[in-house]
Structure 1
Amino acid sequence: MVRPRPRLLDFTKTPSHLQFNKYVLTGYRPVSTAHECVRSLFYMHNELGNIYSHGIPFFLFLVLLPFSIPWREVDSIWIGVVHYLACLSPTVGSVLYHVFMNHVGGEHVYDTLLSLDMFGVCLVNTLGALPIIHITLLCFPTVQQAALLVYIFLSAYGIYCATTARTNVLRLRAFVWQVMFRFSLFLFRVYGSGAGSPDSLRLFVIMDSLAMLGGLVNVIQIPERFVPGLFDNWGNSHQIMHVMVICSIIYLHWGTLEDLTWVKNYQCPAE
C-alpha cells in the first residue's frame, strides 16, 4: 500500500529555524523522521528543486569526471585527486542538508546539516584552488609552498566563519579572502611570471564570477522577493544559486583540464 504524502505547511506554520525565506510562502514539509525525509524525494515540495539541482550533478560528476581527467599526463596524482574531490564536495553536503533539514531532531540537527553544507562549499574553494596555486607558481617552489600554506590558513579561517555564521550575508563574506587570494594569482599570471594556460585564466575568472553572483542572488532573494509565492517550488533564488554553483564547478573543471594539458609541455625558464 502506497502511503499518502504528508500535508504540506505554509510559511507561518513551519518551525522557526526553517523560516529563512519569507518570500517562499507554501510547500514546506512537516517535521519528519529520517525515513519520511527520504520519502520526500518522491513528491512535490519546496525543497525538491534544491535536492535534485545538486543531487543529479553529484552522480554525474561522480561517474563522468574521472574519465575526463588525464591521469597519465598528470605529473602529480594528488592534483587530479584533489580536483575530483573539490568538484564533488559542495553537492554532497548540500543534498544531505536539503533532504534532512526538517528532521525531528529540530534546530540542532538543522544547524549541523547547515554546517556540513557550508563545509562542502569551503572545500570546493580550498581544494579547487590548490592545483591553480601549484601550476601558477610552478617556477617558484619556495613561494609556491608558502602560498599553499597561506591559502590553507585562509581556508581554515573561512571554514570557521562559514560554519558559524548565522546569516547568508556573513556566509558569503567568509569566502572573500579566498577569492581575493585567487584573484592575486590571476593577476600574477597576467602581469608577472606565473605559469598556466592562457585559456584557463578566462575560465577561472568566469568560475569565480558565477559563484559570487550565485551567492549574491541567494542573499538578495530574487526573483521571489518581487512576487512572493510564485516561485515557491521552482525558480527561486536558492535554486538559481545551485545552478550557478554547478556551472561554476564545470568552469573550474574546464580550467583545470586546460592547465593540466598545458603544463605537461611547459619548462620553466632558466634562471
Structure 2
Amino acid sequence: MAFLAGPRLLDWASSPPHLQFNKFVLTGYRPASSGSGCLRSLFYLHNELGNIYTHGSVLYHLFMCHQGGSPVYARLLALDMCGVCLVNTLGALPIIHCTLACRPWLRPAALVGYTVLSGVAGWRALTAPSTSARLRAFGWQAGARLLVFGARGMGLGSGAPGSLPCYLRMDALALLGGLVNVARLPERWGPGRFDYWGNSHQIMHLLSVGSILQLHAGVVPDLLWAAHHACPLD
C-alpha cells in the first residue's frame, strides 16, 4: 500500500484530551479534521491506521479525530460498544440454542436470560469510565457463556462434536485481547516504540478476529448438527 503525504501529526501532549487514553503511544496523532479529512487518513500513515485496517471498528477509529471533538468521539465510542455487545450477544445465541436443543423447557428461558443480561452488560459498557471497566462489563456475558460451555462439557447439553473446543478458544482469545489492551502491552515496556505498529490495541484487534473465526468454526457444525439431530424421547 502506497501512503500519501498527510498533515503534520501531533504528539501525545498536543493531541486532544479525549484522545489521550494511551500515554505510552507518544506520536502519530492526527490533527482535528473534517469528515473528508478523516476519510483521507485512510491513505497516510498515522497511529490509528493499523486499527482501522485490522478490525470491524472502522468508523470509530477512522472518525475519532473529527473536528466535532469530544461529543462526536463519545457517540462513536458508544456505537463501537454497541457493536461489541451485538457480536457477544448474537454470537452466543446459536450456541445456547444448540446446547439446549434437547431441553425445550429450558432453552427459551436461557435465550431470553442471556439477551437481558447482554442488555445490562451493554449499558454498563456504554457508561463505563475506563477500558478496564468496559472489560468487566462484558465479563458478565463471558461468565454466562462459560456456564453453557460447562453444561455441554459435563454432558448436560448437546451439540456437534468438536464445537466446544472452538468456543473455548473463542473466549480465550477474546479475554487475552481484552487483557492485553487494558495492560497496554507491549508499548508499556517501550513507550514510543509501538506508536504505529504492534501496540496493544492492534494486538487486541487481531485476537478478536481470531476469536470470531473460532466462533464461526464452532457454530457452523453446531447448526448443521441441530438441523438433523433427533432428541431422545422421554
Give the TM-score range, shorter chain: over 0.9
State the 1:4 CA deviation: 4.8
Normalising by structure 2, report the TM-score: 0.96
Tell me, yes or no, if the aligned pair for 2:10 and 2:27 is still in contact at 8 Å. Answer: yes
1:77-226 alignment, distance < 5 Å: 91=56, 94-226=57-189
Q: What is the aligned counterpart of 1:266 among 207, 229, 234?
A: 229
Which segments of 5 or more consecutive residues in structure 2 lack a partner in the other structure?
Answer: none
Letter in 2 for 1:43: Y
Shift of 1:261: 2.6
Q: CA RMSD in A?
A: 1.0
Deviations for 1:18-70, whole angstroms, at most 9, x for unmatched residues? Answer: 0000000000000000000000000000000000012xxxxxxxxxxxxxxxx
TM-score normalised by length of structure 1 = 0.83
**Aligned residue for 1:60?**
none
Of 176-185 and 232-241, the range deviating more from structure 2: 176-185
User: In the aligned structure 2, how far is the partner of 1:194 from the partner of 1:186?
Assistant: 8
What residue is the counterpart of 1:46 in the other structure? 47
What's the offset of the Cα at 1:142? 1.9
Using the alignment, how far apart are the partners of 2:156 and 2:191 within structure 1? 51
Give 1:11's aligned residue.
Answer: 12
Query: Which residue matches 1:227?
Result: 190
Unmatched 5+ residue regions in structure 1? 55-90
- Report the identity percentage: 58
**1:184 maps to amino acid:** L
Q: Paired residue for 1:86?
A: none
Q: Find out whether 1:253 has 2:223 as its counterpart.
A: no
Amino acid at match of 1:53: T
Which residue of structure 1 lines up, in the alignment, with residue 29 of structure 2?
28
Q: 2: CA distance between counterparts of 1:4 and 1:230? A: 22
